[in-house]
Amino acid sequence: MHRPIFVNLPVADVDRSRTFFTELGYTFNESFCNDTTLVVVLGDNLFAMLIQREVFDSFHPAQTADATKVKECVICLGVDSRDAVDALVERAIAAGGTAGDCEDEESMYGRSYNDPDGHSWQIFWFDTAADASDDISSRDPAAPAAP
């Protein structure tokens, strides 16, 4: 299996991104931060590497998506409770993000926000006690989803 995961995302302004994610309560791995790159610590061995768009563009030959117009991905992050979902999303909106969608099911609750560069962040809580047989963290990713 994989060790750390780095999700690389292009940003227009690294300083603006630092301010935004600081207001959400995140910290940074300063060993990898510089004037064109910001590494947000999302959890143990989980990182978002926010890279100045011009530098990000040099990493690949394809056109870089403008996340304000085209969704290249949705980053999904689990938290410990429904209240934690609401608190983080509300901080994101107060810090300059925009509200996204909301899903409220019996054993799962999620809300999303878009950061200042348009990247979508889905924050969710999953009640594994509600149905221990459907614990998403222990599923085989290659197995088909339950009906």
Average per-residue pLDDT in the chain?
A: 90
Burial of 90 (0-12, 13-18, 19+ CB in 10 A): middle
Main-chain phi, psi angles of 28, to 5 degrees: -130, 150
User: Which pLDDT belongs to residue 1?
Assistant: 84
Intrachain domains 1-58 and 67-132 with the same fold: yes
Pairing relation of β-strands 5-11 and 46-52? parallel
Judged against a pLDDT cut of 70, whether residue 13 lies above it is answered with: yes
Domain boundaries, the chain: 1-58, 67-132
Judged against a pLDDT cut of 50, whether residue 141 lies above it is answered with: no
Domain 67-132: assigned CATH number: 3.10.180.10
Judged against a pLDDT cut of 50, whether residue 144 lies above it is answered with: no
Judged against a pLDDT cut of 80, whether residue 40 lies above it is answered with: yes
Domain 1-58: assigned CATH number: 3.10.180.10
User: Which pLDDT belongs to residue 45?
Assistant: 94
Contacts of 4 (CB under 8 A, 6+ apart): 45, 46, 47
Q: Measure the CA–CA gap between 49 and 122, rounded to whole angstroms.
A: 17
- The letter for the amino acid at 76 is C
Its pTM surpasses 0.75: yes
Judged against a pLDDT cut of 90, whether residue 60 lies above it is answered with: yes
